[in-house]
Structure 1
Amino acid sequence: MKPIHATLERWFPEKRLFLRSDTETRFIRLSSETQLVAWTGSTIVVGWTIVATAILLMDSIGAGNFRAQAQRDQMTYEQRLNILSSDRDTRAAEAASAHARFEMALEQISIMQSELLATEEKRRELETGLEVVQTTLRNTMKAREEAREQVAMLTENGEDGTPLSMPDEAVGTVNLLANALAETAAERDQIADDAGMAIEQAAEMQLELRLLQERNDQIFRQLEEAMLVSVEPLDNVFRAAGMNPDTLIEQVRRGYSGTGGPLAPITFTTATGEPDPDSLRANAILASMDRINLYRIAADKLPIAMPVRSNFRMTSGFGQRWGRLHAGTDFAGPVGTPIHSTADGVVVQAGWQSSYGRLVTIRHDFGLETRYAHLNTIDVRVGQRVSRGDKIGAMGNSGRSTGPHLHYEVRVNGNPVNPMTYIRAGQNVF
């Protein structure tokens, strides 16, 4: 102990603190050990004060950065939504314009086909009439030859060498035949001219029809490419979300009750009774357009909106965490931040549930279900129908939670899927 005391004496020599009054003088003896304890305590207090102040400053700066980042993310999200909305409107206008051009082209094709059929029918009638005229002309020429032979016989000299005079009846017959022959020849020439004009007209119609067919083929290709570009991303979105696109389309079609109904197919047939190739392509495009319309209807029922709209940051995503499946996405923010429904549906649970804490569960169409856990307050009741964007509660820290946040889940037929699949689809596709 003496070496330790000697060391302390060297650093903290013993001191006396005198307290003097009018009547007496007292002193307090400050040993080396006492000074060491006081110095150690003071150092700990000062150090703790410095560390606590630094932590508070870092937390304040971090919170400010998080808020600024959240505001920037919110502004970026809103700008992107506006851009996507503008692009969607532009594509819808282009699709409507293309559909109008397509209908106009089909109408022109129908008119041209009708005119071509009428011209073909007229040409066949003219050919039939021409054959009749040619037959009549041959008969008339034969009759004329016979008449000429009769005239020659009548005009031969008699036995006494005097020419025989032609009877008036024979002369009338010859004149009648000559007139009929002239009229027949004129009719033949007129029919031949009409047939030539009809053939030229048919050739012109065929040329116009070929040009129209090429223009329609170009329009069809553009429409088919547009439909392919529009439909494939939608199919991929629903498949990635664990939903069968064909089954989804059938469900929407069975429950569809909007104005106009599905697009009606076009029915054109060729002379052989087989469907026209253009009709088949047009009906395929109409089927794609109908599929897109049904996807739009389905999108209105899907949870593609954000459950938190302001003052938040994403802290944990969907997937394996610490050896267990984290079945949702976490959004951290201040207590009391409004929580909104991400799609239309019916509230099937609104209360406390073990580790979820205060939980709201909403059932949607197509076997979808969304869960909103760790709430501070609940603003809906079981059986209540809510719409997308309705406030259903406020963010909290209830249940098994390490801080104020929303645990958001999306389930398809009871199986958890990544909620961001739907949210990204709402941002990038719809």
Structure 2
Amino acid sequence: MFNKLKAVIERRFPERRVFLRSDTETRFIRLSPIAQVTSLLGGTALVSWAIVATAILLMDSIGSGNVRDQARREQSIYETRLNALSSERDSRAEEALAAQERFNLALSQISQMQSSLLASEDQRKELETGIEVIQRTLRRTMNERDDALVKADTLSAELEGTTGSVRTDSGRIQDIESTVDFLTSALELTAGERDEIADTASEAQASVEELLLQARLAQERNDRIFQQLEDAVSISLAPLDEMFRAAGLPTDRIIEQIRRGYSGQGGPLTPLSFSTRGEPPSAESLRANAILSEMDRVNIYRIAAQKTPFAIPVKSAFRYTSGFGPRWGRMHNGTDFAGASGTPIYSTADGVVTHAGWSSGYGRLVKIQHEFGIETRYAHMSAVRVEVGQRVSRGDRIGDMGNSGRSTGTHLHYEVRVDGNPVNPMNYIRAANNVF
């Protein structure tokens, strides 16, 4: 078999000689059939390898170009989304300011309405007193008139039936004329008083009707005001309540805790006081107190929102690089915001600084204790701008973005902990998107 293969190779590739001649001598190189076949196979393998390598390089170059284009498109989409979120945040801020203005206007209208209701109540009571006095005077005058008529009839009967008087006829006539004149004067006076009382009663009735009309108009106006206030309070309260529930916070406990910070009624809005005469509260008072209660809830939510980390810690340009959850086999307890070194970092809620300095893997770290058992952490800073024990408000600058500690690049590691347990910070940030 080998000999046959060798014979075939010798026929295809006969032995060749390559002569090399110089000025002084001539030499040759003998190329056997096996050497020729080996050279041919080696050259063929080399050319094939060059073709395959070139094809791989071309495919890799084309693929890299596609990846770069895809990265540019994703970056453009991400920037567009960030701009949309920024515009939406500004819009929500304007809506919050408008809601605050509506709240202040509603509070002013409630105060004016309360004053108007109290004035109407005083006028009604004065009118009732005046009508009662007029009715008593009218009854007394009518009784006096009836008594005078009875006396006149009695005197007339006595004059007509009297006999055997020692007075002369002329004297009796004078007495009768005097009595008649007296009765006529009394009747005229009584008739005048009656007419005067009737006029007074008519005027009082007209005043009553006018006051009733004014009261009805005031009631309709108050109904419209109440309806507008109820709508405004409902519009203001619903997103705030939804924001706290979306963040997973116990709204009833938060409201009770905020109320304990006030004296008396437990809030800045005091309900209308009811009558001390034992009268049941009016429908307007009950309705006004219901509105005041809802407005008090809105105000408490506004105060609680300042004490809860609903804000974003970075206001300049940034990008999200890592979210809350498992990462590389370990739990990532926060959200990472990447940006330029020195980017300002802000407190996301009112609170007290409990740590401001170096902390192993966190690098330069700031911890802030808030209400309701909530703590926020800001790690890997390049500079810390607060001190332990310092009280900060939402939006106060607390440090600069950096790359300190166990970090692979400039970014902010932001954590939210409730009763010591880490929670997803984006729950709070997303919950506030429709409010702030």
Q: TM-score range by the shorter chain?
A: 0.7 to 0.9
CA contact (8 A) 2:381 2:412 kept: no
CA contact (8 A) 2:386 2:398 kept: no
1:339-354 aligned at under 5 Å gives the runs 340-341=345-346, 342-345=348-351, 346-348=353-355, 350-354=357-361
1:235 aligns with 2:235: no
1:428 aligned residue: 434
2:95 aligned residue: 87
1:381-392 aligned at under 5 Å gives the runs 383=388, 385=390, 386-387=392-393, 388-392=395-399
Going from structure 1 to structure 2, the CA distance change for 1:292 and 1:196 (only over 3 Å counts) comes to: same
- Partner SS for 2:388: coil
Going from structure 1 to structure 2, the CA distance change for 1:308 and 1:320 (only over 3 Å counts) comes to: same
2:143 aligned residue: 135
Partner of residue 286 from structure 2, selected from 280, 290, 308: 280
- Partner SS for 2:172: coil
Going from structure 1 to structure 2, the CA distance change for 1:263 and 1:418 (only over 3 Å counts) comes to: same
Aligned residue-pair number: 416
Partner of residue 220 from structure 1, selected from 216, 221, 226: 226
1:112-261 aligned at under 5 Å gives the runs 112-153=120-161, 163=169, 165-166=171-172, 171-255=177-261
Partner of residue 338 from structure 1, selected from 339, 343, 349: 343
Per-residue Cα deviation, 1:115-135 (whole angstroms, up to 9, x for no partner): 222111111111111111121
- Partner SS for 2:307: coil
Higher mean displacement: 131-140 or 415-424: 415-424
RMSD: 4.6
The 2-side partners of 1:343 and 1:78 are apart by: 20
Going from structure 1 to structure 2, the CA distance change for 1:17 and 1:110 (only over 3 Å counts) comes to: farther
Gapped regions of structure 2 (runs ≥ 5): 7-16, 30-34
CA contact (8 A) 1:376 1:396 kept: yes
Look up the equivalent residue of 1:279 and give its one-letter code. Answer: S
Going from structure 1 to structure 2, the CA distance change for 1:127 and 1:75 (only over 3 Å counts) comes to: same
Q: CA deviation at 1:404?
A: 6.2
Look up the equivalent residue of 1:149 and give its one-letter code. Answer: A
Q: CA deviation at 1:44?
A: 8.2
CA contact (8 A) 2:226 2:288 kept: yes
Look up the equivalent residue of 2:107 and give its one-letter code. Answer: H
The 1-side partners of 2:28 and 2:383 are apart by: 68
Q: CA deviation at 1:376?
A: 6.2
Identity of aligned residues (%): 37
Q: CA deviation at 1:384?
A: 6.0
Going from structure 1 to structure 2, the CA distance change for 1:281 and 1:251 (only over 3 Å counts) comes to: same
- Determine which structure has more spread, i.e. the larger CA radius of gyration: 2
The 2-side partners of 1:76 and 1:254 are apart by: 40
The 1-side partners of 2:211 and 2:22 are apart by: 131
1:266 aligns with 2:245: no
Q: CA deviation at 1:190?
A: 1.5
Going from structure 1 to structure 2, the CA distance change for 1:86 and 1:242 (only over 3 Å counts) comes to: closer
Higher mean displacement: 235-244 or 130-139: 235-244
Q: CA deviation at 1:38?
A: 6.2
1:362 aligned residue: 368
CA contact (8 A) 2:383 2:402 kept: no
The 2-side partners of 1:114 and 1:4 are apart by: 131
Q: CA deviation at 1:163?
A: 4.1
Q: CA deviation at 1:213?
A: 1.3
Q: CA deviation at 1:136?
A: 1.1
1:11 aligned residue: none
| TM-score, normalising length: structure 2 | 0.76
Gapped regions of structure 1 (runs ≥ 5): 6-15
Partner of residue 101 from structure 1, selected from 109, 116, 119: 109
